């Protein structure tokens, strides 16, 4: 088995590991972050760049897995390493003295041929996520064959159960290989999700019905490059059908891009179905008499502009003697460092979603507060995070703050409060913890994806009947 070294132990390095681990022997990660030297990532040791010169590499290839590939390539050249590979958004390129960024295809799939009378959908994204997993599961239950094409990271890198529902999973290392496969295969619909928008742009080259599912409308963040704005425009305008995460984003897209005479679906990030919890756990507060909040989801400790930068907000809560327990698949090292900032912060690791539903019943309320800035406010006001529905499913009151879309939701369904940080925080959260959540609230108000299945099926079938105009 060919031996490789991955340069970059962050997000792109980890995803490259998942994508290539069955084809290559991965010896180690290399990273310029000295804090990572000597630890293991995904069971693979991390070494410094300086140690590369100690490794005899005649039969070992180096793959750069970082957005900083240009500076890293310069670093390698200074070290006398002039032949290497670059992995960018799941696509592989070869570099040497005689060629720069030449595409390399490793996949050898035969063209896909569907069975007689088969109705199918090919889901496509860089890394499989929970939203796509839910939609695909619903469609499979509705009688469709569902397939997945990923470019960056396989489903199991996000959640081991994500792979189980698909009838087939494909990946490619070049754009040409991917387009050729789709063009000559027997898929009814390509359901392409952002980000990034470029994937939809690429696949629009194929003569297939393409649905563009906007998980995040990136232009709402501001500070976009002209290339990003162009890609977003093409994906929204040229696709055969569009899905958005809220009606407010639908209206924004229509105004921004003049979208009309097209099939459009608003599909919120709801839970798949209201899950039966069984017997709830005893509340931690019943044991120690203190308040215990829970947060589940992503955390960003590097970007103070990110909506997931929580250090300042959580400090205001923990300073009131309120516990915050957080479950996250974000950077483990950062989560552990964050935990050390207060005796009231507790990192609980990453728990599979079905187990987490019951796990969260031992807490008093769920946190859906975010770090809101002028840059991210417009984006954050366009929908409600999946975690809000998950907290309600676990019969937890929801604490939100500063976002009208979130405060409107908790007020409409009486499931939480809008926390005012200028007032007594402990008093407000204490009152919120007294709110009783109806066990079947989500089903009663059609706040699950399963309640929308006939609408989703109808949307797919309408798109299939439309003429492809590209």
Number of residues written out for the chain? 470
Q: Characterize the bridge pairing of strands 91-95 and 60-64.
A: unpaired
User: In the structure encoding, which two tokens stand for residue 210, read together?
Assistant: 């393409």
- Give me the pLDDT at residue 241, please: 97
- Which bin fits 89, alpha (ψ -120 to 50), beta or left (φ > 0)? left
* Residue 358 forms part of a structural domain: yes
Q: Report d(CA 209, CA 465) in Å as an integer.
A: 9
- Other CB atoms closer than 10 Å to residue 283's CB: what's the count? 14
Select from 78, 103, 128 the last residue of a domain.
103
| 253 and 288 fall within a common domain | no
| 139 and 10 fall within a common domain | no
| 361 and 215 fall within a common domain | no
For residue 40, what is the domain's CATH number? 3.40.50.720
* Residue 255 forms part of a structural domain: yes
Asked whether 292 and 426 are in contact (CB, 8 A), the reply is no
- Give me the pLDDT at residue 384, please: 86
| 293 and 175 fall within a common domain | no
User: In the structure encoding, which two tokens stand for residue 84, read together?
Assistant: 């290497």
List of residues 6+ apart from 61 with CB closer than 8 A: 2, 3, 4, 5, 84, 85
- Give me the pLDDT at residue 55, please: 79
Q: Report d(CA 30, CA 7) in Å as an integer.
A: 4
| 23 and 162 fall within a common domain | no
| 92 and 140 fall within a common domain | no
| 339 and 296 fall within a common domain | yes
- Coarse DSSP helix, strand, coil percentages of the chain, rounded to the nearest 5 percent: 35, 20, 40
* Residue 111 forms part of a structural domain: no
* Residue 108 forms part of a structural domain: no
* Residue 112 forms part of a structural domain: no
| 135 and 266 fall within a common domain | yes
| 264 and 353 fall within a common domain | no
What's the total number of domains in the chain?
Answer: 3
Asked whether 258 and 251 are in contact (CB, 8 A), the reply is no
* Residue 124 forms part of a structural domain: yes
| 158 and 217 fall within a common domain | yes
Asked whether 405 and 377 are in contact (CB, 8 A), the reply is no
- Give me the pLDDT at residue 206, please: 94
pLDDT digit of tens for each residue in the chain (470 aa)?
A: 789 999 999 889 999 999 999 889 999 999 998 888 889 989 999 999 988 878 776 788 999 999 899 999 999 999 989 999 999 989 999 999 898 899 999 999 999 999 999 999 999 999 888 899 999 999 999 999 999 999 998 888 877 777 889 999 999 999 999 999 999 999 999 999 998 999 999 999 999 999 999 998 989 887 788 999 999 999 999 999 999 999 999 999 999 999 988 999 999 999 999 887 778 899 999 999 999 999 999 998 878 888 999 999 999 999 999 999 999 988 888 999 999 999 999 999 988 877 899 999 999 999 999 999 888 888 888 888 899 999 999 999 999 998 988 999 999 999 999 999 999 999 999 999 999 998 889 999 999 999 999 999 999 999 999 988 77
Query: Bridge-partner residues for 45, per DSSP?
Result: 40
Asked whether 361 and 277 are in contact (CB, 8 A), the reply is yes
- Give me the pLDDT at residue 411, please: 95
- Other CB atoms closer than 10 Å to residue 298's CB: what's the count? 13
| 131 and 244 fall within a common domain | yes
User: Does a cis peptide bond (omega within 30 degrees of 0) precede residue 216?
Assistant: no
User: In the structure encoding, which two tokens stand for residue 400, read together?
Assistant: 């939100």
- Give me the pLDDT at residue 30, please: 95
* Residue 440 forms part of a structural domain: yes
- Give me the pLDDT at residue 397, please: 98
Nearest to 276 by CA among 159, 137, 445, 393: 393
| 343 and 247 fall within a common domain | no
* Residue 185 forms part of a structural domain: yes
For residue 326, give its domain range. 284-444
- Give me the pLDDT at residue 178, please: 96
List of residues 6+ apart from 342 with CB closer than 8 A: 314, 315, 318, 319
For residue 439, what is the domain's CATH number? 3.40.50.2000
């Amino acid at each position: 088995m060919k031996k490789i070294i991955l340069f970059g132990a962050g997000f792109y390095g980890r995803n490259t590991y998942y994508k290539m681990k069955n084809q290559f022997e991965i010896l180690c990660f290399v990273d310029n972050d000295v804090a990572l030297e000597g630890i293991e990532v995904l069971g693979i040791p991390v070494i410094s760049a300086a140690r590369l010169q100690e490794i005899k590499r005649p039969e070992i290839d180096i793959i750069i897995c970082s957005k900083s590939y240009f500076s890293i390539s310069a670093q390698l050249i200074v070290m006398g390493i002039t032949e290497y590979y670059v992995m960018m958004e799941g696509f592989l390129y070869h570099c040497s003295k005689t060629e720069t960024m030449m595409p390399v295809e490793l996949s050898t799939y035969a063209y896909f041929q569907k069975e007689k009378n088969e109705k199918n959908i090919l889901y496509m994204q860089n890394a499989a996520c929970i939203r796509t997993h839910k939609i695909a599961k619903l469609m499979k239950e509705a009688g469709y064959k569902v397939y997945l094409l990923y470019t960056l990271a396989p489903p199991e890198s996000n959640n081991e159960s994500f792979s189980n529902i698909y009838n087939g999973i494909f990946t490619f290392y070049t754009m040409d290989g991917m387009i050729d496969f789709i063009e000559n295969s027997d898929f009814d619909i390509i359901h392409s999700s952002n980000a990034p928008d470029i994937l939809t742009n690429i696949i629009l080259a194929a003569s297939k019905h393409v649905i563009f599912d906007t998980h995040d409308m990136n232009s709402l963040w501001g500070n976009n490059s002209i290339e990003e704005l162009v890609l977003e425009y093409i994906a929204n305008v040229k696709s055969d059908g569009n899905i958005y995460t809220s009606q407010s984003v639908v209206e924004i897209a229509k105004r921004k891009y003049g979208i009309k005479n097209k099939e459009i679906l608003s599909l919120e990030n709801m839970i798949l179905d209201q899950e039966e919890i069984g017997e709830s756990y005893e509340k931690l507060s019943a044991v120690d008499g203190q308040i215990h909040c829970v947060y589940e989801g992503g955390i960003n400790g590097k970007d103070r502009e990110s909506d997931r930068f929580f250090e300042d907000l959580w400090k205001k809560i923990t300073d009131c003697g309120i516990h915050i327990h957080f479950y996250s698949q974000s950077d483990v090292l950062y989560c552990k460092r964050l935990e050390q900032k207060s005796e009231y912060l507790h990192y609980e690791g990453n728990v599979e979603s079905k187990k987490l539903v019951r796990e969260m019943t031992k807490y008093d309320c769920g946190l859906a507060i975010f770090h809101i800035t002028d840059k991210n406010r417009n984006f954050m006001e366009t929908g409600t995070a999946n975690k809000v529905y998950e907290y309600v499913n676990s019969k937890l009151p929801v604490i939100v703050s500063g976002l009208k879309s979130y405060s409107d939701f908790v007020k409409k369904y009486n499931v939480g409060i809008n926390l005012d940080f200028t007032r007594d925080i402990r008093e407000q959260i204490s009152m919120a913890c007294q709110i009783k959540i109806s066990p079947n609230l989500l089903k009663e108000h059609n706040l699950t994806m399963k309640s929308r299945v006939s609408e989703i099926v109808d949307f797919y079938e309408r798109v299939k009947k439309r003429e492809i105009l590209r």
